[in-house]
């Protein structure tokens, strides 16, 4: 196998590594067992193809991955999301005031709230039909522009309403999590509202299956508070949990 062929075989693996966020040359060289100068040549080749963007000492993916639709997300990791929802429900106290984010994992959690006592504020439109009129629940829906891809509301109207409310817990998710950056989403409007949700709550609970931990598939970021709770599935590795803990998380791994 020639050096050029070996390099071409490395390129897909390099891209996979970079999907987790910015990676430095020395880390990549150690991972692939080659010299730093070899990795720099690989990265330069990928940069010339406009696949990645070089940074000081490393590189990042040039373009975010296409955003998946809500039905596509609902079909992904269903057993893991169900386990995460059950574990997150056990963290609640009766009469907690909850802010619920958009997304399929939060929707799985929200569906388990029927029969409990909570005041709920949400932009998650699929949950409205599930929770409206349920005994014991007081539901407030944030108005605003509708984002069809996630079937959630956002924008200035949603934020203006939310600024008048506070909660015991904000239950949120995202397209990915990277320690030191926070939660990623496809649009700035999404992370703007998500950040405000976290600011308006005394506690932040992040629901995220292990496939998203350490992943930077989108380009807009919502920083996390100094202390927060991550509820993930039993497949989360020790390294993934340690990364979250280094970013201030109390990690709860849901039983399968």
Which domain CATH number covers 92? 3.40.50.1360
In this prediction, residue 63 carries a pLDDT of: 56
Q: Of the given ranges (31-35, 161-165, 167-171), which has the lowest mean pLDDT?
A: 31-35
Residue 45 is part of which domain span? Answer: 3-61
Mean pLDDT across 155-176: 96
Mean pLDDT across 54-82: 65
Domains contained in the chain, number: 2
- The per-residue DSSP string of the chain comes to --HHHHHHHHHHHHHHHHTTS-EEHHHHHHHHTS-HHHHHHHHHHHHHTTSEEEETTEEEESSPPPPPPHHHHHHSSHHHHHHHHHHHHTT--TT-EEEE-SSHHHHHHHGGGTTS-EEEEE-BHHHHHHHTT-TTEEEEE--SEEETTTTEEESHHHHHHHTT--EEEEEE--SEEETTTEEEES-HHHHHHHHHHHHTEEEEEEE--GGGBT---SSEEE---SSEEEEE-TT--HHHHHHHHHTTEEEEEPP-
**Of 39, 61, 83, which one is at a domain's C-terminal end?**
61
Which domain CATH number covers 24? 1.10.10.10
Mean pLDDT across 64-83: 67
In this prediction, residue 199 carries a pLDDT of: 98
Grade residue 66 by pLDDT with cuts at 50, 70 and 90.
low
- On whether both 102 and 140 belong to a single domain, the answer is yes
For the stretch 4-42, pLDDT in tens is: 335 556 766 776 676 656 567 888 888 888 888 888 888
- On whether both 91 and 152 belong to a single domain, the answer is yes
pLDDT mean across residues, the chain: 86
In this prediction, residue 75 carries a pLDDT of: 53
**Is residue 241 predicted with pLDDT exceeding 50?**
yes
For the stretch 90-131, pLDDT in tens is: 999 999 999 999 999 999 999 999 999 999 999 999 999 999
């Amino acid at each position: 196998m020639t050096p050029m062929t070996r390099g071409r075989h490395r390129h897909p693996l390099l891209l996979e590594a970079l999907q987790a966020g910015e990676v430095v040359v020395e880390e990549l060289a150690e991972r692939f067992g080659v010299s730093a100068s070899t990795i720099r040549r690989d990265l330069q080749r990928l940069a010339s193809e406009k696949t990645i963007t070089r940074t000081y000492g490393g590189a990042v993916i040039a373009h975010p991955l296409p955003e998946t639709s809500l039905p596509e997300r609902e079909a992904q990791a269903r057993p893991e999301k169900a386990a995460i929802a059950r574990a997150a429900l056990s963290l609640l106290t009766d009469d907690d005031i909850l802010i619920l984010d958009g997304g399929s994992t939060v929707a799985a959690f929200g569906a388990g709230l029927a029969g409990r006592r909570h005041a709920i504020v949400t932009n998650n439109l699929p949950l409205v039909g599930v929770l409206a009129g349920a005994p014991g629940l007081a539901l407030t829906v944030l108005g605003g522009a509708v984002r069809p891809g996630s079937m959630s509301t956002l924008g200035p109207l949603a934020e203006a309403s939310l600024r008048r409310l506070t909660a015991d817990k904000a239950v949120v998710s995202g397209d990915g999590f990277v320690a030191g950056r926070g939660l990623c989403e496809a649009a700035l409007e999404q992370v703007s509202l998500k950040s405000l949700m976290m600011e308006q709550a005394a506690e932040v609970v992040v629901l995220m299956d292990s496939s998203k931990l350490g992943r930077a598939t989108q380009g807009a970021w919502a920083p996390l508070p100094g202390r927060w709770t991550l509820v993930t599935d039993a497949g989360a590795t020790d390294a993934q949990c340690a990364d979250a803990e280094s970013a201030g998380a109390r990690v709860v791994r849901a039983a399968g």
